[in-house]
Structure 1
Amino acid sequence: MNTRKLSVLEKVGFGAGDMSINVMVAALFYLISFFYTDIFGLNPTHMGILFLVARFVDAFTDPMMGLITDRFKSKKGRFRPYFAYLALPYGLSMALLFTTPDMDYNAKLIWAYATYLFATLMFTGVAIPYISYIGVLTSDPQERLSANGYRMFFAKIANVVIVASVPVLAEWWGGEDLQEGYMFAMGLMSGIGVLLLWFCYGTTRERVEHKVNPQPLGTQIKYLLKNDQWLVLAGCCLLGTFGYAIRGSVALYYAKYYLGGDAAMASMFTSSGIAASIVSMVASTWITKRFCKIKLFSWSQILVGLMSLGMFFLVGPGDVVMAFTLYVLLSFVVDLHAPVFWSAIAEAVDYGHIKDGQRVSGLSFGGISFCQKAGGGLAGLAGGLLLTFFDYQPNVQQTEFTLTGLALMLTIIPGAFHAALGFLLFKYKITDRFYQKMVAESSVIQTKSPDVA
């Protein structure tokens, strides 16, 4: 079996896995804040604290899941079985997340904590094995990049479908009862997510085998923190996710209140940005065949900062056409880096393996997942506090001060974090040429062709 080349079906299957995971991602990045404040009825500050508490839980569960994938391997593989066994509880957790019980406020707050934490635990159970999966699908950097291109394309399709359809379906099915409408709409999407995980399980295989030495957590953390290139990517993940999550969480508010749109227009505004990022996935794959992927990664994020500044000053309340145009352009540039980032993680793991003679794979990917969720959690806390600071009140006419705050949260605030990411990436050195030379000069990275079904 060739350990390097992947069939189109396998790339599609790999992408289907991320499509399933991004049902949850879209819910957490784009819908949950709006749902909690305007539908479920949570105080924005209480919501922000919930998001932060969940990230403290992730601080333990993400590394633990990484250790589990490092220590245990079944006949079906090291990562792949989780897609089959955890699919149903993962889908259930998404459905419960958007269920509103008929209780008083304190009881509803407890319900929100219980269902949100359950959902994040199930997300960890499938996401950590999934983001680690690319390292065992192929050993070829270009094939990894191509597979991640498929992955990000399908992920963005999931985001578009969720954001464009769930608010509209909720209004259609629920009528005046949007709580019931969101429950039914997300229940449907959760079922589709389960089927997609099973499809990923059935169409992909683990081909590359790395020898993993069972080491204590403290030892693995020591080696991980010695990997300077992984640390750069971890910092980039924190900064980028914070910016991405702040912008994504406020997009529905911005469209509804700043632009004066209804549910359909708000969904269209948010999903148009995601659609632009789908085109960005294709463009990124084309560009990186001709230009340095790390320079693309860095300069695209610096440009996002400049474009965000321009959008704040150029778009006024109700300026729908200009807002759509600049938001689409901004979203296109933001995601030019995405396939590069996820392929870079596997290469940073190999870099650490060669540099220190020890492979810390599961914890490396688990750590990146934690950074991603930590960035999202901190953004959730910041978003809740900012909504409170800007005197946001759900389902009423907003003041000029509040509208300015929503505009800042969509543009300048996240743009500053993306620009910081771009400058940090100047410290990253694993280009394709560097990686190929590193592997050619080392006998550490070896691939096998195990009979893994």
Structure 2
Amino acid sequence: MSTNKLSVLEKVGYGSGDMAVNVVISSMMLIITYFYTDIFGLKPADIAILFLVVRLIDAVTDPLMGIINDKVSTRWGRYRPYFLFMAVPFGISVFLTFSTPDWDYNSKLIWAYSTYILVTVIFTAVTIPYISIIGVMTDNPKERLSAAGYRLFFAKVAAFMVTIIVPILAEAWGGDNLAKGYQSAMGLMGAMATLLFLFCFFTTRERVAYQVETKPIITQFKLLIRNDQWQILSTICVIGTIGYVIRGSVAAYYATYYLGGDAKLLSAFLSTGVVAALLSMIASTWITKRFCKLKLFRYSQIGVGLLSVIMFFTVQPGDVALAFVLYFLISFVVDLHAPIFWSIISEAVDYGTVKNGHRVSGLAFGGISFAQKAGMGIAGFVVGMLLTYFDYEAGAVQSEYTLTGIALMLTVIPGAFHTLMGSLMFKYHITDSSYEKIKAQLDDITYNESIDQQQTQSGIKPTEATV
């Protein structure tokens, strides 16, 4: 077992990075669709296409950023410099995304495309390094899992701030002009994210040195595809994100129209889900110390499907109390898997190194990031199309047909994706014990590569040394 233990300060610093990241993720998952339809004034169908188009850009930028991480190293390391140099652009892009110019519809649509693409590209430039850095902070799976717990705890704190503070500040600062209020409130969140990235930069360290793969991108891609465990995780990431984003995106509509609530109830409902998820981070870390992390992953997601069906059939329009209870339970159970997922990506990369004899790290992490954003894009498209299909009209009194559709989008539809996600996880087989064997094989590979390099520098062929 590795002795690369992380201090509490470093884990907090690492977590602060995800808190910054989740200023964007939480806003995209929980309020951006509602903001675009009810505040910005876009049509659901146009939003659906916007979300899908931007993901096509991610198909290029995410793998590219992963490759850059592999090829570029600085005196601060491979990953940390981006927390320093992209912090300010990140905050500015958040502010611009939630700015609503007083233009005609087509011009506003162009602005939405421009700012959403901007925030997505900058998000990629800082997020790929962030999700990659845990692999070089420590090679201890327990420490990685513990750090993931800190990370996701702070992520949910950010989500809590976005869902409860932003609506309140938007109403207080904007008054009758909610667009101005949201711009100011999200501008504050962007400034906070900038400071958090800087804190992450100054408190984290890169300790573990891996042999960086220098093979052409096509060769790396072929090697990555041969990593069956990475394939499972990337597929699960897409499916799980679709379910998560559909539920999160429609929660504001559910609270406003299905439960008949005002801005305070909307904030309370969104915050209930975030508080449940935050508590889930703590519970997951505790449970995985005593229970198989893979079993927790599998059965928690299947349980989400069951709870979602129960909520759909038991909660009627206006049934606020029961809706809050079941939404809390769903939000708690669904996030039990999160620390596990983000801690095992590095294990899948190491597995691929042993299986194929070559390490493909940057492209692997870039691929996972793209899988997450592909899921977000697909989910955004689905939400926009379903709102159109169910005849949703912003600010209007919704029909029974529309309310039923909103309820389905919060419960059964995302629940089905999570059930599939949990079922697919039965194909993932890297346990803690098997990973120890992988690490031992990695040590042998590293040792042999070091010997070969020394022999090459000395003018001795590896075959001569062997003889």
TM-score above 0.5: yes
- Structure 2 counterpart of 1:162, one-letter code: V
**Which entry has the higher C-alpha Rg, 1 or 2?**
2
Q: How far 1:173 sits from its partner (Å)?
A: 0.6
Match of 1:231 in 2: 231
Gaps of 5+ in 2: 451-467
- Structure 2 counterpart of 1:286, one-letter code: W
Deviations 1:153-186 (A, max 9, x none): 0000100111111111111110110010101100
Contact 2:305 2:415 in 1 (8 A): yes
2:298 equivalent to 1:298: yes
Deviations 1:282-327 (A, max 9, x none): 1111111111111110111011011100100010000000000000
Match of 1:140 in 2: 140
Match of 2:357 in 1: 357
Match of 2:267 in 1: 267
Contact 2:167 2:263 in 1 (8 A): yes
- Structure 1 counterpart of 2:445, one-letter code: V
Q: Aligned-pair RMSD on alpha carbons?
A: 1.2
Contact 1:3 1:207 in 2 (8 A): no
Aligned length: 447
2:449 equivalent to 1:444: no
Aligned-partner Cα distance in 2 for 1:226–1:76: 32
- Structure 2 counterpart of 1:388, one-letter code: T
Aligned-partner Cα distance in 1 for 2:445–2:422: 31
Secondary structure of the residue aligned to 2:215 is coil
Deviations 1:235-269 (A, max 9, x none): 10011000000000000110000001111111110
Q: How far 1:438 sits from its partner (Å)?
A: 2.3
Map residues 3-402 of structure 1 onto 2, 5 A cutoff: 4-402=4-402
Question: TM-score when scaled to structure 1?
Answer: 0.97
Deviations 1:122-148 (A, max 9, x none): 100110000001000001000000000
Taking only the aligned residue pairs, the percentage that are identical comes to: 60
- Structure 1 counterpart of 2:343, one-letter code: S
Secondary structure of the residue aligned to 2:327 is helix
- Structure 1 counterpart of 2:165, one-letter code: S
* 1:3/1:64 CA distance change after superposition, 3 Å: farther
Aligned-partner Cα distance in 1 for 2:125–2:394: 34
Q: How far 1:216 sits from its partner (Å)?
A: 1.1
Question: TM-score when scaled to structure 2?
Answer: 0.94
Aligned-partner Cα distance in 1 for 2:446–2:432: 16
Contact 1:3 1:137 in 2 (8 A): no
Q: How far 1:441 sits from its partner (Å)?
A: 4.1
Contact 2:44 2:385 in 1 (8 A): yes
Secondary structure of the residue aligned to 2:430 is coil
- Structure 1 counterpart of 2:324, one-letter code: F
Aligned-partner Cα distance in 2 for 1:398–1:373: 31
- Structure 1 counterpart of 2:110, one-letter code: I
* 1:19/1:251 CA distance change after superposition, 3 Å: same
Secondary structure of the residue aligned to 1:444 is helix
Gaps of 5+ in 1: 449-453
- Structure 2 counterpart of 1:134, one-letter code: I
Aligned-partner Cα distance in 1 for 2:305–2:180: 39
Deviations 1:379-424 (A, max 9, x none): 0000000000000001111110000000000000000000000111
Q: How far 1:200 sits from its partner (Å)?
A: 0.2
Match of 1:431 in 2: 431
